[in-house]
Amino acid sequence: MNPVAKAPRSESALRVSFEFFPPKSPDMEQQLWQTVCELARYNPDFVSVTYGAGGTTKAPTFSTVERMIGEMRLPTASHLTCVDADKAETHQVIADLRKLGVRHIVALRGDPASGIGTAYQPHPQGYANAAELVAGLKEIGGFEISVSAYPEKHPESADVSADIAMLKRKADAGADRALTQFFFDNDVFERYLDQVRAAGITIPVIPGIMPIQNLTQLKRFASRCGSTVPAFLDARFEGLDDKPEDRAKVAADVAAEQIEDLMRRGIFDVHLYTMNRTPLVAGVLHRLGILPVEAAQAGAAA
């Protein structure tokens, strides 16, 4: 795999980043790297790699991050959680990531190791939450720091105000940007962003966009993480269960339309949850007029 050259881009152009998760089997590993190779051609601002609660995917996360940085030359952020780890253990992970070349960390509290929906218990000698983890990273120094944000609030937050108060703690501790949980109603995001700014939070808040691979599975996942799936999506996908090509076209249209609307509202950065699959994400980008670097360069030279 060869690294892809960067193409120049205007400040008004859409900037995209991609999230990947570490593979759990040889087949999944093959799929991941095929996806990374193909999506790298779209000149992402950065890519991120998830990290399981309590470091449950530590080894595959490290392996994935190392290859993305060393072989693919991609600007790569590693997720980092503080679940079930004391500060010494967390600092060792941070040191190990630095050795791999990581200079961007997505700092998260993380879901309880016992599963989403169960009570979170911070490690008595660890970082209690993401705000404390951000402060720890700033004290160590040398990292760009992203954090999470929740337009429809985190499932464990009492209300949106409490959720925004936590985001402010993370921003005040030194976070550089926030990446949001996925959502489908841009009015919800805009209201949330207004509340965030009113709270004195000035860091960029980048919308997380989830192209819909499977609507039924998405609804189950959304119910666990506090995201709403609007009724209009049922209408868009109605009758397409046995028509995979038509379903994929509608899914790409839905995500592209959401991003186009965000751009009309002045948002020019989005974080795409790839689910380690290329076709749908590429379909979304093509509908937005974003071409692979080599195609864009050829078009410019024509």
Beta-carbon count within 10 A of 221 CB: 15
The continuous run of DSSP H or E covering 101 comes out as none
Residue 238 is among the residues annotated as catalytic for this protein: no
Query: What is the spatial distance between Cα 75 and Cα 102, in angstroms, rounded to a whole number?
Result: 9
CA angle 209, 165, 157 (to 5 degrees): 70
CA angle 238, 217, 108 (to 5 degrees): 135
The active-site residue, picked from 11, 19, 156, 294, is 19
Q: Which residues contact 7 (CB under 8 A, 6 or more apart)?
A: 43, 293, 296, 297
The continuous run of DSSP H or E covering 220 comes out as helix 215-225
Residues with catalytic function: 19
